Amino acid sequence: MIASNLQQLAEALIRKTISSVELTQLYLDRIARHDHQLNAYITVDAAASLAQARWADQRLAKGEGGPLTGIPIAHKDIFCAAGWRTTCGSRMLDNFVSPYDATVIRRFAEAGAVLLGKTNMDEFAMGSSNETSFFGPVRNPWDVSCVPGGSSGGSAAAVAARLAPAATGTDTGGSIRQPAALCNLTGLKPTYGIVSRWGMIAFASSLDQAGMLAPSAADCARLLNVMAGFDERDSTSLDRPTEDYCREIDARQADKPLAGLKIGLPKQFFGAGSDPQVMRLIEAAIVDYQTLGAEIVDTSLPNMDLSVAAYYVIAPAEASSNLARFDGVRYGYRTPVYRDLNEMYSRSRAEGFGAEVKRRLLIGTYVLSHGYYDAYYLQAQRIRRLIANDFAEAFRHCDLLLGPTSPSTAFKLGAKAADPVQMYLSDIYTIAVNLAGLPGVSIPCGFADGLPVGLQLIGNYFSEARLLNAAHRYQQSNPWHLRLPPAFAE
């Protein structure tokens, strides 16, 4: 069952080939057997998961099951889940047990899915390698000496090693798509606002977006059907009609399934700076898309080169505001030794936050301070608008954009830890998508020296169905996504 997709698992549960309890136990056993090599999970509660599985089996027995009923799903430890420790990968929240469910968690529970465990992550989602977690780095199942990408690296490693059928993640600057690329998975960052952020611990509120990691685009579509929808508790949630994100995937395939689709190649994605082996696989994928009937056109995103600089002003600024709530007073870590209230604040934050979080909080406070707001923060917001305008202009001439997800394959643990700028450049192809609020998906497109390479497709606002269908049609003729890491294939 470990290589099965979500539809096959759902069919097996309906046919009673396997029960939800048995399926959940299978994954719990795999976690117990393999996770010491990966450190993909922070919290596993077998009793709680099996209790949900028993309830799912009762629903299935009554014929009340849906597409995800009884299927175990892992959740990034940034989503609050009632009765579960929710740490955000930080010492600051090491002892925090959430009293409520995030909307994403609640929707999965209502769909009958089983909460399999909470996955490791970069602290407060700040990182591109999953090395900043208070609970230690996550390792890549394809090479345990390499990073899995971040910040959703725990979710990526868990799904890649089949320690979960699928997992949630969050994407602020590429934190779903980049680990998907490095771990041979499909990772979707939806349009900003179509998935509720309520109960998702905030990093940068105008950039954070919940999404998912799964083996295939078809799996992502089924997960998005559950996750998407208006939430009145989230002021950034968009009130729009419900849609079926599987509708194009489930349609009958023609000889040229992507005939009429125009795919743009931004020249900024194909310049110097990327691994030549990565670019050769991207170019091969472009040929495959032409074979599927897509028309390839050249385009440009003139301000994309400014995206990293703009992001690392805007995101830290929002983080400095969002993380001000972690002060040692109401919940979370409190220093055991202090003389007065001010010292309690300062020591709790100094001891509770890791180095990368402190770095970004200091940057954010600086750019928002008097005398620097106009020079940095306001300028970054202007650049953000220019980047969004560039995408709008590109989509006047094409339906989707295509390029690499990451400039390289997975790098060694510790290789970029001493150079924050090099680490930040890992997200050079993904950040602009978040600044514009667009949907993007990364799909496997081959291997370079035994490590996975990811192809990124970017769509216009609310084009998830088209985006996932384009990914799905590629995966039907290029089954890279079916390959498993040899060490975790059994």
Per the listing, tokens 């090099």 go with 422
- Domain 6-231+441-484 carries which CATH code? 3.90.1300.10
How does residue 292 score in pLDDT terms, banded at 50, 70 and 90? Answer: very high
Of the candidates 389, 377, 357, 435, the one whose C-alpha atom is nearest the C-alpha of residue 173 is: 435
Backbone angles phi, psi at 287, to 5 degrees: -60, -40
pLDDT tens-digit map of 35-68: 999 999 999 999 999 999 999 999 999 999 899 9
Q: What is the mean pLDDT of the chain?
A: 96
**Residue 459 burial by Cβ neighbours in a 10 Å radius (0-12, 13-18, 19+):** buried
One of 19, 155, 175, 237 is an active-site residue; which one?
175
How does residue 425 score in pLDDT terms, banded at 50, 70 and 90? Answer: confident
Of the candidates 158, 225, 156, 215, the one whose C-alpha atom is nearest the C-alpha of residue 195 is: 225
Give residue 460's pLDDT: 98
- Dihedral sign (CA 392, 259, 468, 154): negative
- Dihedral sign (CA 77, 81, 85, 86): positive
Give residue 246's pLDDT: 97
**Measured at the alpha carbon of residue 213, what is the angle toward residues 210 and 219, in degrees to the nearest 5?**
110
Per the listing, tokens 């039907």 go with 476
Give residue 190's pLDDT: 98
Q: How far apart are the C-alpha atoms of 487 and 315, rounded to whole Å?
A: 37
pLDDT tens-digit map of 357-391: 999 999 999 999 988 999 999 999 999 999 999 99
Residues near 175 by beta carbon (within 8 Å), at least 6 away in sequence: 122, 125, 128, 150, 151, 152, 169
Give residue 3's pLDDT: 63
Give residue 253's pLDDT: 74
Q: State both tokens at 241.
A: 């009609």
Give residue 271's pLDDT: 85
Q: How far apart are the C-alpha atoms of 60 and 37, rounded to whole Å?
A: 35
Per the listing, tokens 């320690």 go with 163
Give residue 330's pLDDT: 87
pLDDT at residue 419 is higher than 90: no
Active site residue 175: yes
Q: State both tokens at 176.
A: 């779903």
For residue 93, the tally of other CB atoms under 10 A from its CB is 24
Domain boundaries, given as residue ranges, for the chain: 6-231+441-484
One of 128, 133, 151, 196 is an active-site residue; which one?
151
How does residue 252 score in pLDDT terms, banded at 50, 70 and 90? Answer: confident
CB contact at 8 A, 63 and 106: no
CB contact at 8 A, 264 and 401: yes
**Residue 131 burial by Cβ neighbours in a 10 Å radius (0-12, 13-18, 19+):** buried
Residue 68 to residues 48, 116, 370: CA-CA distances in angstroms?
Answer: 18, 13, 51
Q: State both tokens at 343.
A: 């010292």
**Secondary structure element (H or E) that encloses residue 299, with its range:** strand 295-299
Q: State both tokens at 163.
A: 């320690």
Q: How far apart are the C-alpha atoms of 119 and 156, rounded to whole Å?
A: 9
Q: Tell me the percentage of the chain whose pLDDT exceeds 90.
A: 93
Give residue 207's pLDDT: 98
Active site residue 152: no
- Is 199 in a helix, a strand, or coil? coil
How does residue 170 score in pLDDT terms, banded at 50, 70 and 90? Answer: very high
DSSP 217-250: HHHHHHHHHHHBS--TT-TT--------TTTTTS
CB contact at 8 A, 296 and 263: yes
How does residue 417 score in pLDDT terms, banded at 50, 70 and 90? Answer: confident
pLDDT (mean) for 164-193: 98
Q: State both tokens at 444.
A: 């496997």
One of 19, 20, 49, 76 is an active-site residue; which one?
76
Q: State both tokens at 380.
A: 């970054």
Please indicate whether residue 185 or residue 273 has the higher confidence score (pLDDT): 185
pLDDT at residue 1 is higher than 60: no
pLDDT tens-digit map of 330-366: 888 999 999 999 999 999 999 999 999 999 999 999 9
Q: How far apart are the C-alpha atoms of 14 and 94, rounded to whole Å?
A: 38
Q: How far apart are the C-alpha atoms of 139 and 158, rounded to whole Å?
A: 10
